Amino acid sequence: MIRKTLIILTIFCSMNMLNAQNPFLENYQTPHGTVPFNRIKTAHYKPAILEGISQQNKQIEAIINNPNRPTFENTIEAYERSGELLDRVSIVFDNLLSAETNDDLQKLAQEIMPMLSEHSNNLTLNEKLFARVKAVYVQKEGLNLNTEQKKLLEDIYDGFVSHGANLEGEAKEAYRKLSQTLSKLTLDYEENNLKEVNTYQLLLTSKADLKGLPETAIEAAQETAKSKGAEGWMFTLDAPSYIPFITYADNRALREKLYLAYSSKCSHNNGCNNLDLVKQIVNTKMEIAQLLGYKDYASYALRNRMAQTSEAVYKLLNQLIEAYKPTAQREYEEVQALARQEQGANFRLMPWDWSYYSNKLKDQKYNINTELLRPYFELSQVKKGVFGLAEKLYGITFKKNSDIPVYHPEVDAYEVFDKDGTFLAVLYTDFHPRAGKRSGAWMTCYKEQWVEKENGTKDINSRPHVSIVMNFTKPTENKPALLTFDEVETFLHEFGHSLHGMFANSTYRSLSGTNVYRDFVELPSQIMENFAIEKEFLNTFAKHYQTGENLPDEWIERIVNAANFNVAYACLRQVSLGLLDMAWYTRTSSFDGDVQAYEKAAWKSAQILPVVDGTSMSTQFSHIFAGGYAAGYYSYKWAEVLDADAFALFKEKGLFNAEVAGAFRREILSKGGTEHPMVLYKRFRGEEPSIRALLKRNGIN
Ligand SMILES: [Zn+2]
């Protein structure tokens, strides 16, 4: 995944020296002007943020009060380049809240986050500022702007308009009320979800009920029970507790019980019910979209996505159903056959049996033991492999620099040099879990890339400072960090995002690097995952950390084969969620029907497992009801189509083909959001993407 800060904006303003001790308010005296983490204290954030807000407000006032008529330079560019200080502080604050937080920082966030969101609202609601932006926008064809300038103008204009800036009188008031309603509804929705997950407990007191579970899951359940003052083993609806149970527990009745609890979250009469909120959120979003002149919410959301229209989204989803359904049906039957061998000929495979028997079948077919692979994936070797891959493809090199300050001793900082030796970027790596770091893996920036004019004349390319943060297996006293295969894939994924950041070469920061449309942003990351199952690549680094012997060919083959295990079922599962999302957000009239019935009808064509009454996805689908994925869930499959289609060119021309890599860098990685992604993609690939390469990769005919 990638992270972005909330604030759009940028550059240069004279540093007010009112707080000389505050490192944020000084020019950073560090290599490449990197963040002086060693000098930053919690007390520095708030004054620096307040100063940053005040500076940007002055910059905005200056734009508004400019006596000259609005031009691209004095309005659009000036707005883009405002708020440099605020950005440099909030980017550090925001990143450390995820990577190295503590109680003080969390407490401070409660105070600072509302300040930042109020400031950002004040900007988009500033009518005088919008009037100037619009004055430039309406004459955009006559302004002789280059492609990137035009895109910047359109994006900035859209940023105002999509928040109701073009509305007047009653409509504007209606928009304001609907937005407020929506944020309250989504908060309630999310809160109910959290409450439900935190309240549910399955306490087991008989050891026999734990049969089949791995030791780690049993220990964790014991700890959970203990922390709640109970004896025995407690399982919850949290993924790390739920997933092992549903995958390994031999006791079918308990699997069913936990599955039903999980799949009916927020649909009971227990004070956490989301059924009504689903209707209200769907209806409110539809009203907002229609107020802004769109037919439905999907059309509004898709205005800045690569797919562009609902038709294109449905086309993809339906193509995938048609291609994968027969295989998915076969996969289901194969899992059911195994279950029947164990349970008798009349056994009917239900949703709570799927993970359990799938996992058994996978073991039987491929016998890939995660633990056996680990010794071949020692972290420092993997790092050599991944950095080496970038060197092979792009000629870039990585040099560790211990003089660059870091926010934790486990973090390393590298200088990255281009193939001609020029400085390209700083890359921070942060690999292991610890208290204060949230779970998951992500890429982020401490400084993005842009071009500025020195003394108003010479172009200076301000190079990016990129960071990748993971939660990989830690080293122990006797063993170095030995990764799982999944962790190797995750490394490649985040590293792919980091290349998008490091190769950035735009003029404007808000169009630079990973600042691209949501359904395009995972292409650079996912394409890198393809290398993980290539023998040619694995052989460059996957060696036993003690004996030095290569990862045996036979195991590589098993990894490759297992990669497609139940791939069609998984695809249809994603497609069904995409269909549900689109069904809610392509509505053109308000909904007051039966949520669960509507849901079942919406994804029927992609359903493989028997449908169970009383279950409900919409009441717990935070991605689309509380997160940013409304009318966007299809993006996961969309990006997969892109990465398979793009990687097919490497497969065709050679895995490490420098020419293909060069084109990928030139047309995609360096371009950020300066042009529409379909234009960029076609320039790289010569044509629009098709699902053919994905089908081939997945072994679907
Ligand atoms: Zn990602």
What's 72's domain CATH number? 1.10.1370.40
Strands 397-400 and 412-417, bridge-based pairing: antiparallel
> Looking at the domain assignment, is residue 452 inside a domain?
yes
Out of 263, 297, 314, pick the residue that ends a domain: 263
Please tell me whether residues 9 and 136 are part of one structural domain: yes
Please tell me whether residues 250 and 386 are part of one structural domain: no
Closest by alpha carbon to 278, among 582, 574, 591?
591
pTM, entire model? 0.92
Please tell me whether residues 130 and 244 are part of one structural domain: no
387 close to 398: Cβ distance less than 8 angstroms = yes
Q: Which domain holds residue 498?
A: 376-510+526-542
189 close to 626: Cβ distance less than 8 angstroms = yes
Quick one: pLDDT band at residue 6, thresholds 50, 70, 90?
very low
pLDDT of residue 216: 84
Out of 223, 245, 263, pick the residue that ends a domain: 263
Strands 412-417 and 423-430, bridge-based pairing: antiparallel
Average pLDDT of the segment spanning 208-228: 93
125 Cα to the center of ligand 1, angstroms = 32
Please tell me whether residues 382 and 454 are part of one structural domain: yes
> Looking at the domain assignment, is residue 45 inside a domain?
yes
Question: What is the overall mean pLDDT for the chain?
Answer: 94
Q: Flag the least confident range among 89-93, 320-324, 568-572, 623-627.
A: 623-627
Please tell me whether residues 124 and 227 are part of one structural domain: no
**Would the pLDDT of 4 be above 70?**
no
Please tell me whether residues 16 and 73 are part of one structural domain: yes
494 Cα to the center of ligand 1, angstroms = 6
> Looking at the domain assignment, is residue 88 inside a domain?
yes
**Would the pLDDT of 8 be above 50?**
no
> Looking at the domain assignment, is residue 97 inside a domain?
yes
Q: Which helix (H) or strand (E) holds 288?
A: helix 275-291
Please tell me whether residues 127 and 218 are part of one structural domain: no
Please tell me whether residues 104 and 224 are part of one structural domain: no
Active-site choice (331, 494, 522, 640): 494
Report the DSSP beta bridge partners of residue 437.
none
> Looking at the domain assignment, is residue 10 inside a domain?
yes
Please tell me whether residues 25 and 151 are part of one structural domain: yes
CB neighbour burial string for 256-289, b if at least 16 within 10 angstroms, e if fewer? bebbebbbbbbbeeeebebbebbbbbbbbbbbbb
Strands 450-454 and 412-417, bridge-based pairing: unpaired
Please tell me whether residues 103 and 219 are part of one structural domain: no
Please tell me whether residues 104 and 51 are part of one structural domain: yes
Q: What is the pLDDT of residues 659-686, one digit of tens each?
A: 999 999 999 999 999 999 999 999 999 9
Out of 211, 232, 263, pick the residue that ends a domain: 263
> Looking at the domain assignment, is residue 605 inside a domain?
no
Q: What is the pLDDT of residues 177-203, one digit of tens each?
A: 999 999 899 989 999 998 998 899 999
> Looking at the domain assignment, is residue 39 inside a domain?
yes
674 Cα to the center of ligand 1, angstroms = 20
> Looking at the domain assignment, is residue 518 inside a domain?
no
521 Cα to the center of ligand 1, angstroms = 7
Number of domains forming the structure of the chain: 3
Please tell me whether residues 137 and 232 are part of one structural domain: no
Q: What is the pLDDT of residues 10-37, one digit of tens each?
A: 223 334 444 568 999 999 999 999 999 9
522 Cα to the center of ligand 1, angstroms = 5
Q: Is 494 a catalytic residue?
A: yes
